[in-house]
Every structure is written in C-alpha cells, then in structure tokens.
C-alpha cells in the first residue's frame, strides 16, 4: 500500500515474486497530488509535518490523531520525495541500482488506484509502474461509484466494509494472476 509499492522494488529478492498487488502505490511526489487538494496537502505533509517533527524530534501523529507516531528520518525522507529516483528519498542510493532493482521484478503486477485517492492519482500510479518495466503490469482504476459507495480514498481499501467488493480483486489476482471478468473499474494500463 502507498509507499510500500515503491519499497517492494527496493528488495533485492523482488525478482522472485510471481504476483503482486499494490493499492494506492506511488512516490508521494507533491506535483502528482490531486489538483484540487494539492496546495492543502503540500502544506500539511511537506511543511507542517516536517516542522512539527523538527520541534519534537519525531512526528507525534498518535497525539494529533493523524496517523501514528513517525520517526524523524521517515518524515524527512518522505517530505522530500521527488518525481524520479534521482530526486527521491533514495537519493543517497545509486539511482541506476534502484532502477535495476525495480526493473528486475518480473511478476504479474496489479496496481489498484482509486479515483478519489488524492495521493495516488492516475499519473502518480503510472509514474511508479513505469519503474517496474519488466513486470507484466496492469493498472486498474476504480471509482467509488463503480462499487456503489460515496468514497474510498487512500486508506480505506483494507477496511472490512470492502471485503465483498474490493478484496476479491486482490485475492483473484494473487491466486490466478487475473482479474475477475466482472471486476469494477477501468484498466488504464496496459493500453490497447
């Protein structure tokens, strides 16, 4: 989920995976945020969060009712994410090595993006998928109306209320490498 879809490609053993499902996976690059929320999200995640972290030495998310407590280094790196490996959290690592690690992944990869997820816009999801260049990639975009709900967002895919509608998509992919014929949403990649 989220940055975990990027982190998976950092593993030197990701080439051993057969099937992968990511949900809302992207770089957290602020220019990819949903246009209507970009300014507020930038202020919150890239200015306020680092400032509070500098003050306390960590981000006291639990006390603020906003995520969990987050270590200083994670906040620093996350708030500096750029559009490419060369300008991202991993800039201390060799960009060619990072690209090679992601490129070595050959799994059948399903990237699920939710149209009301302000972090994982279509462009953000595709930006990350491009690094998995040797994987058999499918980018599925699901709108809340596709499953008759008012919202899903970035964090809710794993809530029990989606056990009957969204979870079967991930299960089918992991078991067979295919989506059910009646899967909601639209496939934006591969195009054809």
CATH at residue 122: 3.40.50.1820
Nearest CA among 114, 127, 119, 125 for reference residue 38 = 119
Contact 27, 88 (CB under 8 A): yes
Q: Residue-wise over 84-111: b if at least 16 C-beta within 10 A, else e?
A: ebeebbbbeeeeeebbebbbbbebbbbb
> Do residues 146 and 107 share a domain?
yes
The answer to the question of residue 129 being in a domain is yes
The verdict on residue 85 lying in a domain is no
67 and 155 inside one domain = no
> 117 in a domain, yes or no?
yes
When pLDDT is cut at 50, 70 and 90, the band that residue 190 belongs to is confident
Q: Which range marks the domain in which residue 72 is found?
A: 34-80
Instruction: Name the average pLDDT for the chain.
Output: 90
Q: Is the pLDDT of residue 86 over 70?
A: no
Both structure tokens of 125: 């999801």
**Tally of structural domains, the chain:** 2
Q: What is the pLDDT of residue 191?
A: 58
> Model pTM?
0.88
Average of per-residue pLDDT across 9-36: 91
User: What pLDDT does 1 receive?
Assistant: 94
- Of 94, 161, 120, nearest to 29 by C-alpha is 120
Indicate if 185 and 139 belong to the same structural domain.
yes
Asked if pLDDT for residue 101 goes beyond 90, the answer is no
64, 143: one domain: no
Give the Å distances, CA to CA, from 75 to 79, 95, 179: 6, 21, 35
**Is it the case that residue 87 has pLDDT exceeding 60?**
no
If one compares 95 and 153, the residue with the highest pLDDT of the two is 153
Q: Tell me: do 65 and 129 sit in the same domain.
A: no
Please check whether residue 168 lies inside any domain of the structure. Answer: yes
Mean local confidence (pLDDT), 37-42: 93
């Amino acid at each position: 989920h989220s940055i975990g879809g990027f982190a998976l490609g950092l593993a030197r053993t990701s080439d051993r995976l057969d099937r992968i499902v990511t949900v809302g996976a992207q770089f957290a690059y602020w220019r990819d945020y949903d246009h209507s929320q970009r300014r507020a999200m930038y202020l919150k995640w890239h200015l306020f969060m680092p400032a509070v972290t500098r003050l306390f030495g960590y981000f006291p998310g639990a006390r603020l009712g906003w995520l969990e407590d987050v270590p200083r280094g994670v906040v620093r790196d996350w708030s500096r994410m750029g559009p490419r490996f060369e300008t991202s959290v991993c800039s201390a690592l060799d960009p060619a090595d990072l690209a090679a690690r992601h490129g070595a992944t050959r799994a059948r990869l399903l990237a699920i993006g939710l149209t009301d997820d302000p972090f994982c816009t279509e462009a953000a999801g595709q930006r990350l998928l491009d690094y998995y260049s040797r994987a058999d990639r499918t980018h599925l975009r699901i709108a809340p109306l596709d499953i008759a709900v008012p919202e899903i967002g970035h964090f809710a895919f794993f809530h029990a209320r989606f056990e009957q509608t969204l979870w079967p998509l991930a299960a089918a992919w992991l078991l067979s490498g295919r989506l059910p014929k009646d899967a909601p949403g639209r496939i934006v990649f591969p195009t054809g």
